[in-house]
Structure 1
Amino acid sequence: MNGKKIRVSLKVRIFAIFFSILSATILIFVVSFYRYVSKSTVENLNKEYLSMVNDLNDTSQNLLWKLTLSSQQLLTNEDIQNTICLYEACTDLYQKQQYYSDLLNQISTLTMSETDIALLFFYDPVNDEIIYSSLPLNKRITASCYLYENDLFKYYGPSASQSEFLSNPVFSLERIGILPNGNPIIFSAESGLYSLDRNFENLKQHSAYVIFTNESGDILYSSFPSDVYPDINISDLLSQRNSEYHIFSQKPSQGWSTYVIVPHSVYTSQYKDGIQGFTRMAVIFSIFLALSAFGFWQSIYRPLKLFDHALEQIVTDHEYSGENPSSIPEFDFIFRKIMLLQKQVQEMLAHAVIQEQANTKMQLEKLRAQINPHFLMNTLNTVHWLALMNGQTEIDSITQSLSHLLSYNLDKDNYNTNLQRELNAVNEYVHLQKVRYEFTYTQEVQPSVSNLNYPCPKFILQPLIENSLSHGYREHMDIMIRITILDSEIEIIVSDTGTGMDQSHLETLQETLRSSQILSAGSSMQVHQHSGKGIGLSYVFGILQLYYHALVDINIESNLNMGTTFTIHLPKLKGRGYDVENTDY
Structure 2
Amino acid sequence: MGIGKRFRPVGRVDGMTAGISVSRNSLTRKAPLQRGGSIDITQRSNGRWRTALWPDTLKGRLIILLIIVSVTPIVLVGFTSYYWLDKVQQEKISVNYQSIVDNEMKSLEDIYANLGSVSQLLVVNGGLGDDVLEYLNNTDPVRKTDLFVRIDKSLTNIIYSNPSVNGLFLYLPAYENAVQFETSPLLPAFSFGSIDNEPFPLLYRANQLDFNSPHPSVLKEHDEIVVSLIRKIDYRAGESYYIYLEARFGDQLHTFANTPIGLHGKQLLTNAAGQVMFSDITERIPVGSFVTPEKKDARLQAYKQFAARSAQGWTMYFLVLLADYEKELNAWQIQFAWVAVLSLLVTVLAAIYIWWMVYRPLRGINREIKRFSYNQEERSVMRTNLQEFDMLFASFQTMRDKIVELIFEVEQKEKRRGELEVEKLMSQINPHFLHNSLNTIQWLARAGGQTEIVNLVKVFTRVLHYNMAKSSMIVTVQEEIDALNDYIELQNVRYDHRFNIAVDLEPEVGGVPIPRFVLQPLVENALYHGLLSEQGDIRVTLGMAEAGRIYIRVADNGKGMTPERIRELLNGEGGRKSGLGIGLNYVKKMLEVYYGVAADMTIESVVDVGTTIAITMPDHMTGRETDDKSYDR
TM-score scaled by length of structure 2: 0.39
Report the structure number with the largest CA radius of gyration.
Answer: 2
TM-score (norm 1): 0.42
Greater relative contact order (CA < 8 Å, ≥ 6 in sequence): 1
